[in-house]
Structures are given as C-alpha cells and as structure tokens.
Structure 1
Amino acid sequence: VDLGGDEPPVGSEAVLFGPGDRGEPTAEDWAQAAGTIAYEIVTRIGTRVPRVYVNGEPSGQEPGDGN
C-alpha cells in the first residue's frame, strides 16, 4: 500500500476495504478501479494476510485458527 510518504506508527489500523459507511473504500470500489468484480478482490487476498473480524468470528471458523 502506497501511503504517499506518510509513516504511521507501527500497529496502526489499516482498512483496505469495508462497508463504506465510514468513508473507507468498498470491494466494489477496488474492483471498478482494477477493472474486475468485487468477488475477485475479496477472494484474491492471500493467506499470509491475517484476518481480523470486528463483529465476531465468522460462521464456521474457530477462534485463533488464523482465519
């Protein structure tokens, strides 16, 4: 992610996409910019990127399993 020279403190929150209610880009916004569909955006994120669910664990996931 290019922050244009900004250097936020280590541990700062980085929201790449979300629902859009706080002004963050949505997966659809990224898809339009990349010339694809939102499904491609959300499914192409590799497993090395930790998932943080702010509204609880997703259905079928166990806490601490790395997803």
Structure 2
Amino acid sequence: MGTFIVHILRDVEKFLKNSSMPAAKFGREAVKDPRFVFDLRKGREPRARTVERIRAFLEAKQ
C-alpha cells in the first residue's frame, strides 16, 4: 500500500471515528460508492479526481 493511500485512509478513518458515520454512508455521500472505504482498506488506489472529492467532502464536514 502506497504512502499516498495510507494518508487518505488515515484521514477517512479519523473522520469516521470522530463523526460516528458508517463507512458505507461515507462512501455513498463522498464518492457515490458505498464500497469505497472497504476497498480502500484493502489497498484500492483512488484516482486523483476521487481524492479531490474526498478532500472536498472532508473539508465541508469540518
């Protein structure tokens, strides 16, 4: 798993813990893919556009 993926996953996991949002709901709301977080945990490498969407979602929810 690349360092880049680890950072994204860390940020998502931190958000999930702090917000108590289920992983499937996060994926559905952030990138319209309820499996996204589960796949990310398994090493999925998101495209740059997807990472931008995740970052925007996280910033909007802070």
- Using structure 2 for the length normalisation, give the TM-score: 0.30
Q: As a proportion of its length, which structure holds more helix?
A: 2
- TM-score w.r.t. the length of structure 1 is 0.29
Name the larger-Rg structure.
Answer: 1
